[in-house]
């Protein structure tokens, strides 16, 4: 007891010092653990762990694409009675009967298709004190009016401005007896070469002959824009090309393609 009484202050101081040392050691571990926790939180925010998404279910999409690749043709012309019901007519004896189905533009037959040309020819040459002057024949078979389809002549010299069809750009050989004349066409800009022996010829359109057997009608020389009437309907020639004639019903703008098999 005497020892405690004499040294209690030292003993208390030692206990306090030991406690402070324990606290310092604890703080070292606490700070290290806290720093590690902060680093872990930072890493989780910067580089989060992301779980991969499950594979998409594309079953319905693949099925839809497969259906689109398989074409399905609907016959809305010959068999369907909703969009194309039968037509009935009243006879002279007041009877209502079904109209003959073997009528219509699809029963027309194309018998011939021929090209329509732009033709340039060197018809003659005249000379005077001003030089050579060339008489050029111009035939526009595809012209919109009949008067313009016949051959017409144009007088031209080197250096003249372009007329309604061409402009002379080059004279090959002697001007009084050229080997060839080169023209630039106004409508297309292409070059056309003409000599005394060889004309220039370019296909501009086509004309068709066809017949309609149900009414024993024959149509000749029909070109795009012409109007024809048969089967009780007015048609316009929508197009003529080397392989087909296209008729358009003026009542409903329905087009019918008639192939040409020479």
Check whether residue 165 and residue 241 sit in a common domain: no
Check whether residue 143 and residue 128 sit in a common domain: yes
Q: Note whether residue 17 is domain-resident.
A: no
Q: Note whether residue 10 is domain-resident.
A: no
What is the pLDDT at residue 202?
95
How far from each other are the two terminal CA atoms of the chain, in whole angstroms? 141
Q: How many domains does the chain have?
A: 2
Q: How many residues does the chain have?
A: 262
Check whether residue 226 and residue 171 sit in a common domain: no
51 vs 107: which has the higher pLDDT: 107
- pLDDT tens, position by position, 34-70: 788 787 777 777 776 777 888 888 888 888 888 777 7
* Residue 185 reports pLDDT greater than 70: yes
Domain termination residue (choose one: 165, 188, 203): 203
Check whether residue 192 and residue 255 sit in a common domain: no
Q: Note whether residue 153 is domain-resident.
A: yes
Name the pLDDT band for 76 (thresholds 50, 70, 90): low
Structural domain containing residue 219? 105-112+205-259
Q: Note whether residue 198 is domain-resident.
A: yes
Residues in Cβ contact with 99 at an 8 Å cutoff, skipping those fewer than 6 apart: 86, 87, 88, 89
262 vs 170: which has the higher pLDDT: 170
Check whether residue 121 and residue 195 sit in a common domain: yes
Q: Note whether residue 221 is domain-resident.
A: yes
89, two tokens: 């007519």
What is the pLDDT at residue 133?
93
Check whether residue 160 and residue 123 sit in a common domain: yes
Q: Dihedrals φ, ψ of 81, to 5°?
A: -105, 0
């Amino acid at each position: 007891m005497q020892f405690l009484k004499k040294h209690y202050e030292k003993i208390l101081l030692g206990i306090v010092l030991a406690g402070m040392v324990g606290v310092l050691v604890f703080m070292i571990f606490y700070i290290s653990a806290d720093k590690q926790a902060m680093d872990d939180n930072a890493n989780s925010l910067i580089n989060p762990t992301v779980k991969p998404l499950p594979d998409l279910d594309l079953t319905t999409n693949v099925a839809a694409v497969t259906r689109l690749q398989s074409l399905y043709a609907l016959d809305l012309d010959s068999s369907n009675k909703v969009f194309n019901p039968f037509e009935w007519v009243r006879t002279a004896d007041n009877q209502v009967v079904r109209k003959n189905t073997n009528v219509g533009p699809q029963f027309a037959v194309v018998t011939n298709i021929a090209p329509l040309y732009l033709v340039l020819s060197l018809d003659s040459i005249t000379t005077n004190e001003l030089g050579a002057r060339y008489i050029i024949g111009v035939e526009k078979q595809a012209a919109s009016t009949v008067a313009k389809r016949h051959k017409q002549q144009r007088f031209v010299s080197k250096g003249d401005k372009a007329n309604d069809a061409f402009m002379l750009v080059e004279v090959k050989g002697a001007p009084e007896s050229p080997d060839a004349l080169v023209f630039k066409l106004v409508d297309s800009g292409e070059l056309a070469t003409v000599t005394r022996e060889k004309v220039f010829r370019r296909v501009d359109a086509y004309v068709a002959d066809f017949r309609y057997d149900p009414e024993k009608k024959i149509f000749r020389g029909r070109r795009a824009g012409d109007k024809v009437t048969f089967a009780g309907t007015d048609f316009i020639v929508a197009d003529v090309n080397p392989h087909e004639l296209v008729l358009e019903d003026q009542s409903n703008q329905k087009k019918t393609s008639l192939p040409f098999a020479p």
